[in-house]
Structure 1
Amino acid sequence: MQLKSSRRSNRDRSDTTRAAILDAAHGLFVARGYAETSTPDIVAAAGMTRGALYHHFEDKKALFRAVAEREAGAVAARIEEATLDSLTPREALITGARAYFDAMAEPGRIRILLLDGPAVLGTQTMAAIDAANAQRTLEDGLAEAMAPKVYDQAALAATATLLSAAFDRAALEIAEGAATDLYVEAIGHLIDRLISA
């Protein structure tokens, strides 16, 4: 019984340490960018040792990937929360678009997911992270909205990738001051054309 409690306690401590390192790294990556953030800076901000960092992450790049995955997961969760109601598939896509834009407005998300992410991890890795998160919800939404049309899975994935690129570009424009409503409406027109084709 004591051994089981000790294991849980060790796991809790390990999870707490990992979360503290991720939080510190996130803050620095947002404030300074990947290139200007060093591992000594991260461990100092986290109040940890370098040994603790390297116990959880192979190197700074692996830590950045974990931060990017956590941010991508938070974006996908925001979209899924917004589209839980009894919406039509089209309404869910439009509501999901607004939720994506709102989620990307969180400080630092644009930098981590759209700017530093592809530069640091490469476009294929970032595409894989996106595919496991927001793009997955987009593909599911498109498939539902296009039903009962038979849609080849590869073509559906390609369509979602192109639409995802439009979402990303719109998020960048919104971050520069463009009106969110303008881009929600524009994305709505794109979606209408896709699902009525």
Structure 2
Amino acid sequence: MVKSRSEMVEETRSKLIQAARRSFAIHGYANASMDELTAEAGLTRGALYHHFGDKKGLLQAVVDQIDTEMADKAHALSAKEKNMWKRLLAEAIAYIEMALEPEIQRIMLRDGPAVLGDPSQWPSQNVCLGRTMEGLHSLIEAGVIKPVDTEATARLLNGAALNAAMWIASSDDPKVVYGKAVEAFRHLANGLLQTPT
């Protein structure tokens, strides 16, 4: 069966993103060779420039893919919790825990911010922010947490989780830092409860 143009475009994009993801994870953004990356994908540099503009555009596509995967994974893990409050905490803590993964450390938490700027401004972060705001709104309506401004609180909670993840990624002992970060995050978040635990 002959592939449609849109299928061929998507296949080319996917090959480049996967090759870049491997290269960025192993070598880092600065040391990743575009010639080696495109050769691994069986494509030309022209294909890279056509689909992503430049190396930075390719990094953005890789970051978007990983960020979506992280958000989906954190959401799926939190869905196992029956209690709304525990679901909200579980999602944030799952995000923090992913900072222990070397690919996420290098691409999402070190190279991404260095090249693409403030992660809280990345388009993909709007999904996480919206999800957190919805959760907070439901918790306020249920009387579980204090009546706070949901956008401000969501931004602060998400920012705390992001900064905890970045701290883990840049530390000499990520597992020790992870334990400290999660404990502190729980204490901060518990301050929102009507009846702190």
How far 1:180 sits from its partner (Å)?
Answer: 4.7
How far 1:97 sits from its partner (Å)?
Answer: 3.0
What secondary structure, in the 3-state scheme, does the structure 2 residue paired with 1:132 have?
A: helix
2:182 to 175, 181, 184: 184
Uncovered stretches (5+) of structure 1, i.e. residues with no partner: none
Q: What residue identity is the alignment partner of 2:156?
A: T
Tell me, yes or no, if the aligned pair for 2:38 and 2:48 is still in contact at 8 Å: yes
Identity %: 30
What secondary structure, in the 3-state scheme, does the structure 2 residue paired with 1:36 have?
A: coil
**1:108-146 deviation digits (Å, cap 9, x = unpaired):** 1111111111110111x6532452243443333333334
Tell me, yes or no, if the aligned pair for 2:99 and 2:105 is still in contact at 8 Å: yes
Give me the whole-angstrom Cα distance separating, in 2, the residues matched to 1:25 and 1:74. 16
Give me the whole-angstrom Cα distance separating, in 2, the residues matched to 1:89 and 1:66. 32
1:131 to 108, 125, 128: 125
Tell me, yes or no, if the aligned pair for 1:72 and 1:133 is still in contact at 8 Å: no
Uncovered stretches (5+) of structure 2, i.e. residues with no partner: none
What secondary structure, in the 3-state scheme, does the structure 2 residue paired with 1:140 have?
A: helix
Q: Are residue 144 (structure 1) and residue 138 (structure 2) matched?
A: yes
Aligned length: 191
Tell me, yes or no, if the aligned pair for 2:97 and 2:165 is still in contact at 8 Å: no
What TM-score results when the alignment is normalised by the length of structure 1? 0.80
Tell me, yes or no, if the aligned pair for 2:29 and 2:111 is still in contact at 8 Å: yes
Q: What residue identity is the alignment partner of 2:92?
A: A
2:54 to 44, 52, 59: 59
How far 1:92 sits from its partner (Å)?
Answer: 0.4
Give me the whole-angstrom Cα distance separating, in 1, the residues matched to 2:160 and 2:139. 14
Partner of residue 43, structure 1: 38
What TM-score results when the alignment is normalised by the length of structure 2? 0.80
State the superposition RMSD in angstroms.
2.8
